[in-house]
A and B are shown apart, each in its own frame.
Chain A
Amino acid sequence: MLEISNLVKRYGSDAPVLKGLDLVVEGNTVVSVVGASGAGKSTMLRCINRLVEPTSGSIQLNGRELVNLRGANLRHARRKIGMVFQGFNLIDRLTVMENVLAGRLGYVSLYQAMTRKFPQTDIDRAFHLMDRVGIAHYANKRADELSGGERQRVGVVRALMQEPEILLADEPTASLDPKTSEQIMVLLQSLASELSLPVLINIHNVSQARTYTDRIVGLRNGQMIFDGTPGEFNQEALDAIYGGIEAPDETGGEEQPTEEAQTP
């Protein structure tokens, strides 16, 4: 169970990005976090595994306080938090297997890491997970030779290698084409139930959030303004989260071509 309470994050002396956020994620629910760019989604996710230092507040994972952990304690806590990134963040020049095994870096010794002498149980687990997501035949290929969807699968497997208690995904499908991104969402959804793992997904694609997740959390200006099931996520909620935002990105961009198409 993940419990975030009164989380505040302020960069320098600017206005806070997160203004007292509260969020509880229980069991193996898949929660999507939606919100416009700059709403604080990514900051919230990165506060959980402390890639970003929270200014104040509390984050507890299964009863363990994560804020204020240091050194080895922080590294041990991070092992239990898997993370999937928008840009995949694979080590391009290493093989797929090395990338996958990198998920075990928190568990092995420096010597084992350096010589790539990972325990057999880790290798078994790696092959098992790669097989599950369909990339086992790429084990010895260089990570940068794979396609986007395959690379994100490597990213997911790397995160799962950590034997995480929660999986964070920071816009995992934003760099992928629509079809591949659906596949990754399906994968995350089914892995969550197979491994009974809570998953927190930052996502821009609202229809995917509705389809593939159990619960939607809407952020705006660092505050939670919606929390409910996909069924409850109606036009009103959408307007509240995205409405009146200065950059008229999708609506403005899509309307004009249709008008032009109608004139001839």
Chain B
Amino acid sequence: MKETKSGADPLTGQKWKKPPFIASPWLRYGLLVAVVVYLYWTFNTLPFNWDRIAEGLPRAARIFGGAFPPSFERGELMWTGFKESFQIAFLATLLGVILSIPIALMAAKNLAPLPIYLLGRGLIILSRSFHPVIVAILFVAAVGFGPLAGILTLILYSIGFVAKLLAEKVEEIDWGQMEAMRAAGAGFFKTLIYAVFPQILPRQIGLSMYQLDSNLRASAVVGIVGAGGIGSTLMNAFGRYDYDFAFAILILIVGVILVSEGISGWVRKKIW
């Protein structure tokens, strides 16, 4: 009693350590061993040809050397390519976002009956399952080289992203507003317009801005496989060993992405 009064807590001799993240020691060390073994196996089976890598290094140096200083001489070509990229991105965003709305509503568990919900989710999963470059290769094969393939690719890409996130937002809406509209005798579409759309509108605008930004970036990538835009210009420059021009294009892409990210970030902050 007197010891506690003096302020010093009695020594209990008990030790404490933070419990391990994985409780079972077998699993804990087993996982570690498995990762190390797999890494070792990977390095031994992947065909790294060190000689060729060594040969490639001076080539890489030559390319980068050739890229300096970047040449903005053919600015007109760059401008045409960029203009096309922006057109592709803009059209794809517009159409993608418009198509995303019904798909998002279909894929919202609180609104759609089960078969419709599964269909909506299926469409989203389908449009998300391939990287835009793979989709672009398919569309280039289907509709030929040029911007149409790029637009179709990015529409699909936009649906996969926007519809998914929008559906999640629809599932989070305040149900009380739905109830109030239904209590007033409003049918499904009127309820949608009054109780759902105002609640998802800020998210919708934010997603559209983000998607425009993202599509602009992706349009440069899908251009490389022949879907038009600045990516095609870049690919041609590489094909003709115009590394200084290619480097100029890369700088332009970085600049444009920075600007568009700044704008879309600012817009998204302004709405709530």
Contacts and interface: CB of A to CB of B under 8 A. Distances in A.
**Majority-rule SS of B interface residues:** helix
Contact of B179 (A76, A77, A79, A89): A89
B176 A85 contact: yes
A85 B179 contact: yes
B181 A93 contact: no
A75 B177 contact: no
Contacts of B187: 72, 75, 110
Most chain A beta carbons < 10 A, residue from B183, B187, B195: B183
A49 B184 CA distance: 9
A91 B201 CA distance: 12
Interface string A89-105: 11111100010001111
A106 B176 contact: no
A151 interface: no
Contact of A83 (B177, B180, B189, B194): B180
A64 to B, nearest CB: 14
Contact of A110 (B184, B189, B195): B189
Nearest to A80: B185
A49 B194 contact: no
A10 B103 CA distance: 34
Contact of A158 (B176, B180, B193): B180
Contacts of B199: 91-93
Contacts of A215: none
A83 B190 contact: no
Contacts of A72: 187
Interface in A89-136: 89-94, 98, 102-107, 110, 113-114
B185 A75 contact: yes
B184 A79 contact: yes
24 contacts: A75-B187, A77-B185, A78-B183, A83-B180, A83-B183, A87-B176, A89-B179, A90-B180, A91-B180, A91-B194, A91-B198, A92-B174, A92-B199, A93-B198, A93-B201, A94-B194, A98-B194, A102-B186, A102-B194, A104-B184, A105-B190, A106-B185, A113-B186, A155-B180
Interface of B: 174, 176-177, 179-187, 189-190, 193-195, 198-199, 201-202
